[in-house]
Amino acid sequence: MTRLYDPTEGYITLDGVDLCQYDPAAYYKLFGIIFQDFGKYSETAAENIRFGDVDTAASDERIKEAGKRGNADAYISSLPLGYETPLTRVFDENGLELSGGQWQKLSIARAFYKKSDILILDEPTAALDPLAEADVYRRFEELSRGKIAVFVSHRLSSAVTASQIIVMEHGEIIERGTHEELMRLGGKYHLLFSTQASRYLET
């Protein structure tokens, strides 16, 4: 979908046009992506956020705003040099190592920094605790407003508010609909959601 790879068979279209016919550089600009295995760059906290959009001039105000919206501003501001604190010790022996949750918030701030039309969220809260996860999803509603947003998740609590849920098994779409529709269907989604929910209720 993001054209990091071209299909080995079949094709994917955007507005009826095969993705392979689009200019890759222009096409990539459509996307803001938060991967589960997100980039950890040996640069300052500010640069890690700015890498979300390297084609526009850097703006300290815009970087800080993205940090706030990604819920990263509080911990970044507490670092020794704030947003100018070097991260990791690859190039700077005084660089700081962040926790997994802190890096994840930084990657979310990076997505806020980029003004994209299509947002891809690939297991974006895997390193966060439940309270932080709930806060992130509230922020995602703001981030995805007026955009196409695609969530990839095994935590089905995140799917409840989606306008359409697509359930895949062995590379095939087996169900699609809203949370309410799929629960009424009583199929695979109902089974998976009920199983996850029962584990929380039991504990």
> How do residues 145-201 score in pLDDT, each as one tens digit?
788 888 888 778 778 878 899 999 998 999 999 999 999 999 999 999 998 877 666
Higher pLDDT, 142 or 22: 22
Q: pTM of the predicted model, to two decimals?
A: 0.74
Is the separation of the CB atoms in 34 and 121 below 8 Å?
yes
Residues 55-68: pLDDT tens digits? 888 889 999 999 99
- Produce one character per residue of 127-155: b if its CB has 16 or more CB atoms within 10 Å, e if not: bbeeeebeebbebbeebbeeeebbbebee
Q: Which residue pairs from 7-13 have beta carbons closer than 8 angstroms and sit at least 24 positions apart in sequence?
A: none
Question: What is the β-pairing status of strands 17-18 and 13-14?
Answer: antiparallel
pLDDT category, 202, cuts 50, 70, 90?
Answer: low
Is the separation of the CB atoms in 35 and 122 below 8 Å?
yes
**What's the CA dihedral at 70, 75, 79, 83 to 10 degrees?**
20
